[in-house]
Amino acid sequence: MKLTRTTHFNPALFGVIPLVNVLFLLLIFFAVSRTFVVQPGISVALPFSSFSLAPQRQPQIVSIAAEPVPTIYFRDRKMSFEELAKSLTDGSGKDATLIIRADRATPYDLIVQVMNQGLSAGYNVVLATTAEQK
């Protein structure tokens, strides 16, 4: 006895299945890559603030890591406070924004010194905070 199939397969379907697979992979890739944050510098734990401010021009970022000895990073370079002061006065601070990303364990005195140096160089100073409280 010869058995016959009740369903018939379309050979064009075998070309569509890999295409659908690739489209799902691209969808997953773009969904995951949207969560990446591109911020140069050192990873610091920012304090919480419910306010956020977006700078109008390309900002200069100063990162202060609270290691056993607080370390200052500016333009992806580790430097002392005196070198930072010289770099800020040499740069064009007129109507530019200086974002300070300081670790929450950083001494407040150092943050205020960096803020004062940025203000005296003509920068608009913003202290970076995180939008989520951990």
What letter would DSSP give residue 117?
H
Please tell me whether the overall predicted TM-score, pTM, comes out greater than 0.85 for this model.
no
Q: Which domains does the chain have, with CATH numbers?
A: 60-127 (3.30.420.270)
- Each residue's pLDDT expressed in tens, for the chain with a length of 134 residues: 788 878 777 777 778 888 999 999 999 988 887 766 555 566 777 777 665 555 456 778 888 888 888 889 888 889 998 999 898 888 766 668 888 888 888 888 888 999 998 888 888 888 887 766 66
Query: How far apart are the C-alpha atoms of 81 and 63, rounded to whole Å?
Result: 12
Q: Which amino acid is residue 6, in one-letter code?
A: T
